[in-house]
Structure 1
Amino acid sequence: MKQYLQVDEWSIIEDSFDPSTQEISESIFSIGNGYMGQRANFEERYSGRSLQGSYMAGVYYPDKTRVGWWKNGYPEYFAKVLNSTNWIGIDVVIDGEPLDLANCSVKEFVRELNMKEGWLSRRFTAVLDGGRELRVEAIRFVSVKRQPIGAIRYAVTPLNFSGSITFTPYLDGDIQNKDANYEEKFWNEVEKQAYASGGYLTLKTKKLDFHVTSAMAYRLEKDSQPVQAESTFAEREKYVAGSLTAAAAAGETLTLYKYVANVTSRNYGLGQLVEAARDQLEEAVQDGFDVLKQEQAVAWAEKWKESDIVIEGDPAAQQAIRFNIFQLNQTYSGEDDRLNIGPKGFTGEKYGGSTYWDTEAYCVPFYLSTADASIARNLLIYRYKHLQKARENARKLGFTKGALYPMVTMNGEECHNEWEITFEEIHRNGAIAYAIYNYVNYTGDRAYLGQYGLEVLVEISRFWEQRASRSTAKGKYVILGVTGPNEYENNVNNNWYTNRIAAWTLEYTLEVLEELEKSEPARYAELLETLKLENEERAVWKDIIANMYYPYDEERGVFLQQDGFLDKELIPVNELSPEHLPLNQNWSWDRILRSCYIKQADVLQGLYFLGHLYDLDTKKRNFDFYEPLTVHESSLSPCLHNILACELGYKEKAYEMYLRTSRLDLDNYNNDTEDGCHITSMAGTWMSVVQGFGGLRVMQGELVLNPFIPEHWHSFSFKVMFRGARLKVNVQGETVSVVNETETPAAVRIYGQSFKLDGLSEVHTRKSEAEANV
């Protein structure tokens, strides 16, 4: 772990240039707007280690699976969000010498990601041959208001010499994904044109026929005035560029403005792409860089108004939570229900940018609380639209009915090829069912159940009905050959979490059926006919619920992660020599699978999801047993342990877990940030503050708060949207205040005491007073 970034409450700042951290910084300083994203690559050429990354949401490629052997049912491809046209490029040549930070001395280097206003800047002095010094100041952003638009201001000032400077802004489509299985390039050229002051380039994918058009325009100024420059332009395969050459004396500044519009065939017809790109580009150029940048600041101010968390007394914690919120808001905006959230977002290529169960388990709570309910609803609609594909996935595995949602997907089809994950980590079905419950419980939108939710629940329940089998020896239903959330155990029998979430899904589906029969009888009858759901099938579900087997240790009073867990040698992590950690970088896979060590919450995942069904003593016994065996080598692990530790009053452990999840990328805890930031883990970081330290739950239509404040903090506050009301919660010592910033009333319960919070009103209480009034 190398801490090289400055602590600032609103910015991420790197104050020196170190090639060894360049790829890490490219991830951390990424920018995006939900429509597209861009790693923090340099505009000018850079011959050092770098992962060039420009990504368009929803544009992906079915890269042929690479395995040494095959099994029936293996997906034929792994879907990947594509590295698209490099639109930021600006080659800079000074008197014939290319500017390349890998080949010159660099001083006074500062890179800043301004999270408050949503832009990335860089300034440095490069020392060229002969001691010539050149100052560069660059700033760029991708527009939140005008999603296809990216804008760059790139200023160059000779400090101790006069010379000729050539700028070559370009669009380069001759790129490839670093994670391409066969080093294949995925793009073909469709058309291009370079012309004075601009150009455009249209590419299409070799499969699936996605088209992307990028159009650019550029302007050159000297000391803020238009400059006459020698101008040329060039074309080659998948590439267009223009060159502008001008003289600059010592102290004079040449500034290049580059504007780009990126549009895709997901939003426009093939014959409309060039026109759409050029129209949007022309409007952006007319308005100019300063107007676009001001729009960006206003748009981000609106986002922060809804989602900011303020921590007083701990600048590192403040910076960390804002960085996590910033990246989440850059990744998913929610307007398009065809899109979802990749574990790395737009910051890298690991995991292919595909959808995992992370969305339902970790991301839905963030969007439920920080945006209009329609945003989280669209994440559920995404799965509803893939229901038929989920049915097909189940058939591929030999099931005659039901739906198995994929472990990894872009279009609803499974595209992950590790057997122990793809075919055994079936608990993801339960996370999708839970997300429906979570959404309805939080928003009160019960209409969703009849419109969309019940169909998904019934088909998932049908899968569990077939996947569970009756054990004659146990006289119970068992689920064999699975991998739970702890991926350091594969092909186990009766993973407690999988069995429990399966039975809970059946319970919840039956509850929804009963509710719908009473509240919407016509829709209920229609769904019964559509789904061909008979009473006999429901009887089987009730039998499974009543007779599901759950491994349990009577002596310790804990749920067992799986049947054979106590056969392992139980050595706590703190008794391992440090050179063994992390296990996944030091132990063989065989040794890991035979060990007692846990990658992330497993039994505790169930106690988090279904916390309303278990008392504190049960949670305490299981936490005390499993947390010491957990190595937290999944980015998704610390946040859930934080939440449970908060509930149990384990304040030091809660704070330890918060720091680990919140600064996971900023401090490169797992030594893998160069692959991209852990976006879905960032949603877990938000949960750590709001559900952990804030103790937020929703029970019986009330927003429940049981907060405590870490000793390192003077106070903290957060905002949540709840059933149309935006509530600001402030915690200082034992005093809690809740301000309703809208005219919509809300029901809240603080330390067990219920309050009716009218519109534009507030309530204050102390823990001792609230508990005394219960």
Structure 2
Amino acid sequence: MKDYIIHNEWKIIEKGFHKEDNRITESLLSIGNGRTGQRANFEEKYTGDTLRGSYVAGVYYPDKTRVGWWKNGYPEYFAKILNATNWIGINVAVDGEELDLNTAKINLFYRDLDMKSGLLTRHFVAELSSGKQIEVHSRRFLSIADQEIGAIRYSVKALNFSGEISFQPYIDGDVVNEDSNYDENFWISIAQKIGCCSGFVCVETKKTAFQVCTGMSFKTKLNKQIIDIEAKGIEKEKYVGAEMKLQVKQGDEVCIEKYAAIVSTLNHSKNKLQEATEKTLRRASDKGFDKLFADQEKAWAKRWETSDIRIEGDVAAQQGIRFNIFQLNQTYLGDDERLNIGPKGFTGEKYGGVTYWDTEAYCLPFTLGTAPQMVSKNLLLYRYKHLQKAIENAEKLGFTDGAALFPMVTINGEECHNEWEITFEEIHRNGAIAYAIYNYINYTGDKEYLAPYGFEMLLALSRFWSQRVNWSDEKKKFVMLGVTGPNEYENNVNNNFHTSYMAVWTLKYTLEAIEFLKKEHPILFEDMVKKHKLKELNETSRWKKIIKDMYFPYDFNRKIYLQQDGFLDKELIPVSQLKPEDRPINQKWSWDRILRSPYIKQADTLQSIYWFEDDFDRESIERHFDFYEPLTVHESSLSCCIHSILAASIGRQEKAYEMYLRTARLDLDDYNNDTCDGLHITSMGGTWMAFVKGFGGMRVKNGKLNFNPFIPDGWNSYSFRLNFRESHLEFIINQSDFRLVNHSKTDIELVVHGKQYHLPAKKELTIKN
């Protein structure tokens, strides 16, 4: 756990250069705009430890996987959102001596990320080996108002000398991925050009043939006045730059304003790509840094208006939740159904920037509550448009008749994960996608999504579950063999409770969808029967038998469902008895030892209880929580949020707060010692859930918002906002009462602590705690 980030309500601040933690800070101060992500690398040359990263959404490469023992059904590649052209570079030299903070003496260093506006700022004073000192200020952002533009204002002041300062703004497409399986360079050169004050580099991915054109233009100012200066063009393969040399006096300040255009064939045709780059550069240069940033501030203010959470009385908790919301907002804007949310977003290379079940399970609730409805619908459409690929994935594993297995990892619908215990066995992801359809419809009231998108997916998913189970003559029950649940510290188990529960629930929900379509859309339903060759009586009869006779391992003494067969054969030593030097076990123990241990990576049985809490009474939830949580090491970023929500639901307020603070500050404090390779973006959706569903007790039941709130000890107040159907609500609670403010033009019925209330449009309601 690290503790060098300064606590602040709106900023992520590093005071003093923590060189040993530079990769962590690079992750924490990453910026993005939904189309492009950029780690907090330095503009100038840096020879110290760094993970340089610029990423363009949707542009990927199928990196051939390395597997010791190939098995039928393995995908041949792991898709990666690539490290793309470096657009931020500005090399600096003083009288021929390069600025490099790895070798220079640093007399002052400060950098911060302003979450209110997405602005990355850095200020330092460096002393070179010659004794000459310079003061540098840099400001950088990726525009969410104009998503193909990045802007940098970089100034250098001569503190104790007169002499020559040279600048070399550049664009470098000769980049690599640190996690390349075969140390391959993924880019080939297409075109490049450098002029006096602008240039571009256009590169193409091997195999997938995406093209990215990155352009730059720049202005030079001396003591705040624009100057004309001769720039010498520099060209290498996949690299263009311009070198300028200025004679300065002591106290002079030189400023480079650099604008970048980052465009790709995801949004432009190849023959128009360079033209689009030049047009974007002109637009950026004409507006200038200040106007671009003013547009950025307005765009961010609009996003914060509906998504901000305020806490009074706990700066660490406040910074944590805003950091999570900020990163979620800048990772996915929701305006392109071809894009999705990777576990690390665009802040590092791990997980390749591709899609896992995390999106449906942890990010969809955030978009439902904070964004326009179409944003959440686009997340579902992303999966729907990959349905045929999911059917093909299932066929590769021997499934038939339109059964679908959505991939564990994907960018284009194909499975691209090759660890057998995950690729073939972690099939609960199918349940998460089915639940996402239900969650979307339950929250928005958009039942028409079932006709036909939701239904087609549910049918294919149910066909998978129907074939995946088999009848056990010994148990006289249907069983689910050879699976891996959310707890990846157990592989190839039988009858994992969560997986089996999701299968049964999916079958039930699909039967409900059939009845809805038959009643509300009979003609469409008949078309679906023909299109998908649905043998309704035969197929649904089997589904009903599975629902009735599914086997769930159960401990009658403890009155709890077991995570899977044989769980009680383990030596049930609680996590509290582990030695500190054994933590985290995923970095300290052999895999053999982990598999034989009782330790749980993240909510597994408790994941089902969280999703379907109405199926369990409070005493049952308490029993399950008290059995499983002490065995949980929380070494998944997706763990603490679920435990926080469940703890809140059973009145364990201290535990709810403990788990919330850990998930909110997971990356800020580097709890799991892995922030260096990128942030845990999808778990940040879980943090929002822990707050709104945990502290706020928000649920949607019978088409109405329900709240069962509490306020943690030590907090003065907190507030959050929700979009719900036609309404926009603000929830404000302090130690004595709470208020619900209806900011919309629509009346709303809601339930608080089991009592129903009517809240008129543009009115507020105050209720005593």
Task: Pick the TM interval, shorter chain.
Answer: over 0.9
**Aligned residue number for residue 413 of structure 1:** 414
Contact 1:230 1:246 in 2 (8 A): no
**Aligned residue number for residue 31 of structure 1:** 31
CA distance in structure 1 between the partners assigned to 2:146 and 2:294 by the alignment: 12
Please give the secondary structure, in 2, of the residue aligned with 1:5: coil
**Aligned residue number for residue 770 of structure 1:** none
**Aligned residue number for residue 724 of structure 1:** 726
**Aligned residue number for residue 580 of structure 2:** 578
**Aligned residue number for residue 209 of structure 2:** 209
Contact 2:151 2:258 in 1 (8 A): yes
Please give the secondary structure, in 2, of the residue aligned with 1:6: coil
Bigger mean CA deviation after superposition, 520-529 or 95-104: 520-529
User: Superposition pairs for residues 448-527 of structure 1, below 5 Å?
Assistant: 448-527=449-528
CA distance in structure 1 between the partners assigned to 2:190 and 2:597 by the alignment: 54
User: Superposition pairs for residues 102-113 of structure 1, below 5 Å?
Assistant: 102-113=102-113
Matched, 1:529 2:527: no
Matched, 1:198 2:198: yes
- Once the two structures are TM-superposed, the CA of residue 254 in structure 1 deviates from its matched residue by 0.2
Please give the secondary structure, in 1, of the residue aligned with 2:451: helix
Amino acid at match of 1:161: F
**Aligned residue number for residue 225 of structure 2:** 225
**Aligned residue number for residue 558 of structure 1:** 560
CA distance in structure 1 between the partners assigned to 2:407 and 2:26 by the alignment: 30
**Aligned residue number for residue 155 of structure 1:** 155
- Once the two structures are TM-superposed, the CA of residue 116 in structure 1 deviates from its matched residue by 0.7
- Once the two structures are TM-superposed, the CA of residue 280 in structure 1 deviates from its matched residue by 1.2
Bigger mean CA deviation after superposition, 244-253 or 329-338: 244-253
CA distance in structure 2 between the partners assigned to 1:289 and 1:745 by the alignment: 43
Report Cα offsets for 1:359-382 as digits up to 9, x if no partner.
000000000000011101100000
CA distance in structure 2 between the partners assigned to 1:148 and 1:257 by the alignment: 17
CA distance in structure 1 between the partners assigned to 2:217 and 2:759 by the alignment: 52
Matched, 1:430 2:426: no
**Aligned residue number for residue 314 of structure 2:** 314
Please give the secondary structure, in 2, of the residue aligned with 1:539: helix
Specify which of 740, 748, 751 is matched with residue 749 of structure 1. 751
Please give the secondary structure, in 2, of the residue aligned with 1:169: strand
Matched, 1:381 2:364: no
- Once the two structures are TM-superposed, the CA of residue 731 in structure 1 deviates from its matched residue by 1.2
Contact 1:79 1:409 in 2 (8 A): yes
Please give the secondary structure, in 2, of the residue aligned with 1:623: helix
Amino acid at match of 2:500: N
Report Cα offsets for 1:122-177 as digits up to 9, x if no partner.
00000112321100000000001100000000000011111111111111000011
User: Superposition pairs for residues 35-54 of structure 1, below 5 Å?
Assistant: 35-54=35-54
**Aligned residue number for residue 10 of structure 2:** 10
Bigger mean CA deviation after superposition, 521-530 or 213-222: 521-530
**Aligned residue number for residue 659 of structure 2:** 657
**Aligned residue number for residue 440 of structure 2:** 439
Please give the secondary structure, in 2, of the residue aligned with 1:538: helix
Report Cα offsets for 1:640-661 as digits up to 9, x if no partner.
0000000011111111101110
- Once the two structures are TM-superposed, the CA of residue 309 in structure 1 deviates from its matched residue by 0.1
User: Superposition pairs for residues 64-143 of structure 1, below 5 Å?
Assistant: 64-143=64-143
Amino acid at match of 1:288: G
Bigger mean CA deviation after superposition, 752-761 or 663-672: 752-761
Please give the secondary structure, in 1, of the residue aligned with 2:125: strand
**Aligned residue number for residue 331 of structure 1:** 331
- Once the two structures are TM-superposed, the CA of residue 756 in structure 1 deviates from its matched residue by 2.2
CA distance in structure 2 between the partners assigned to 1:521 and 1:556 by the alignment: 47
CA distance in structure 2 between the partners assigned to 1:331 and 1:210 by the alignment: 21
Contact 2:44 2:92 in 1 (8 A): yes
CA distance in structure 1 between the partners assigned to 2:244 and 2:200 by the alignment: 17
Please give the secondary structure, in 2, of the residue aligned with 1:154: strand
- Once the two structures are TM-superposed, the CA of residue 68 in structure 1 deviates from its matched residue by 1.7
**Aligned residue number for residue 707 of structure 1:** 709
Amino acid at match of 1:688: A
**Aligned residue number for residue 691 of structure 1:** 693
Mark the CA change 1:648 to 1:734 in structure 2 (over 3 Å): closer, same or farther: farther
Please give the secondary structure, in 2, of the residue aligned with 1:215: strand
CA distance in structure 1 between the partners assigned to 2:420 and 2:311 by the alignment: 44
**Aligned residue number for residue 762 of structure 1:** 764
Please give the secondary structure, in 2, of the residue aligned with 1:34: coil
CA distance in structure 2 between the partners assigned to 1:22 and 1:415 by the alignment: 31
Amino acid at match of 1:60: Y
Please give the secondary structure, in 2, of the residue aligned with 1:695: coil
Amino acid at match of 1:394: A
Amino acid at match of 2:740: V
Give the RMSD, CA atoms, in angstroms. Answer: 0.8
CA distance in structure 2 between the partners assigned to 1:356 and 1:745 by the alignment: 38
- Once the two structures are TM-superposed, the CA of residue 748 in structure 1 deviates from its matched residue by 1.4
**Aligned residue number for residue 616 of structure 2:** 614
**Aligned residue number for residue 681 of structure 1:** 683
Contact 1:701 1:747 in 2 (8 A): no
Contact 1:153 1:258 in 2 (8 A): yes
CA distance in structure 2 between the partners assigned to 1:309 and 1:33 by the alignment: 21
TM (norm. structure 1) is 0.98
Amino acid at match of 1:475: K
- Once the two structures are TM-superposed, the CA of residue 521 in structure 1 deviates from its matched residue by 1.4
Bigger mean CA deviation after superposition, 516-525 or 339-348: 516-525
Amino acid at match of 2:476: G
Report Cα offsets for 1:36-92 as digits up to 9, x if no partner.
010000000100010110000000000000112211111100000000000000011
CA distance in structure 2 between the partners assigned to 1:698 and 1:528 by the alignment: 32
CA distance in structure 2 between the partners assigned to 1:247 and 1:746 by the alignment: 67
Amino acid at match of 1:81: I
- Once the two structures are TM-superposed, the CA of residue 24 in structure 1 deviates from its matched residue by 0.4
Report Cα offsets for 1:165-199 as digits up to 9, x if no partner.
11111110000111100110000000000111010
CA distance in structure 2 between the partners assigned to 1:741 and 1:498 by the alignment: 41
CA distance in structure 1 between the partners assigned to 2:274 and 2:130 by the alignment: 45
Please give the secondary structure, in 2, of the residue aligned with 1:464: helix
Contact 2:196 2:230 in 1 (8 A): no
Contact 1:722 1:746 in 2 (8 A): no
- Once the two structures are TM-superposed, the CA of residue 227 in structure 1 deviates from its matched residue by 2.1
- Once the two structures are TM-superposed, the CA of residue 734 in structure 1 deviates from its matched residue by 4.5
CA distance in structure 2 between the partners assigned to 1:604 and 1:377 by the alignment: 27
CA distance in structure 2 between the partners assigned to 1:718 and 1:668 by the alignment: 26
Contact 1:119 1:139 in 2 (8 A): yes
**Aligned residue number for residue 182 of structure 1:** 182
CA distance in structure 1 between the partners assigned to 2:307 and 2:765 by the alignment: 21
CA distance in structure 2 between the partners assigned to 1:747 and 1:118 by the alignment: 36
Report Cα offsets for 1:250-292 as digits up to 9, x if no partner.
1111000000101000111000000011101101101110000
Bigger mean CA deviation after superposition, 349-358 or 128-137: 128-137
CA distance in structure 2 between the partners assigned to 1:393 and 1:229 by the alignment: 59
CA distance in structure 1 between the partners assigned to 2:18 and 2:680 by the alignment: 22
Gaps of at least 5 residues in structure 1 are 768-774
**Aligned residue number for residue 772 of structure 1:** none
**Aligned residue number for residue 372 of structure 1:** 372
CA distance in structure 2 between the partners assigned to 1:568 and 1:332 by the alignment: 42
Specify which of 638, 657, 661 is matched with residue 636 of structure 1. 638
CA distance in structure 2 between the partners assigned to 1:451 and 1:99 by the alignment: 60
Gaps of at least 5 residues in structure 2 are none
Contact 1:228 1:246 in 2 (8 A): no
CA distance in structure 2 between the partners assigned to 1:746 and 1:519 by the alignment: 26
Specify which of 734, 737, 744 is matched with residue 735 of structure 1. 737
User: Superposition pairs for residues 227-306 of structure 1, below 5 Å?
Assistant: 227-306=227-306
CA distance in structure 1 between the partners assigned to 2:142 and 2:130 by the alignment: 37
Report Cα offsets for 1:472-524 as digits up to 9, x if no partner.
00000000000000000000000011110000000000011111211121222
Contact 2:600 2:634 in 1 (8 A): yes
Contact 2:407 2:415 in 1 (8 A): yes
CA distance in structure 1 between the partners assigned to 2:452 and 2:154 by the alignment: 51
Contact 2:354 2:411 in 1 (8 A): yes
Please give the secondary structure, in 2, of the residue aligned with 1:329: helix
Amino acid at match of 2:582: H
